[in-house]
Amino acid sequence: MDNNLSSEIAALRTQVFTLLVALIIVSGTVTVYLYRQASTLRKDIDQIEPQAKQIINAFNQNQKLMVNFVNSLVAYGQTHPEFRPVLLKYGITPPPAGTAAPAAPKK
């Protein structure tokens, strides 16, 4: 009985050791994979960043023109009620009939 119990304990120790080694290998592999992904994405971001900054700057420069265009659409919608469904379709809510200030588009 004692010999059988010690052989089972030895087998369990071997199995636990094997599982720990496998866990270390798998966790190391996942760590290396995630590190490579992070470094690849960092390089991609560094390459795309100048283009994104150009697009953001162009948007910021043209934002006033876009707001003026939307305001003129709202003003047109106030004088032409048949145009209001088009404004509503694109999320531009004209102010009620009593107000004079045009509304900005919804984001």
Question: What's the pLDDT at 18?
Answer: 98
Q: What is the pLDDT of residues 24-72, one digit of tens each?
A: 999 999 999 999 999 999 999 999 999 999 999 999 999 999 999 999 9
% residues pLDDT > 90 (the chain): 66
Domain ranges, ordered by start, for the chain: 2-89
Model pLDDT, residue 42: 97
pLDDT for the residue 81: 86
pLDDT at 106: 55
For 89, other C-beta atoms within 10 Å of its C-beta total 8
3-state helix, strand, coil in the chain (%, to 5): 80, 0, 20
Record the tokens describing residue 100, joined without a space. Answer: 């004079």
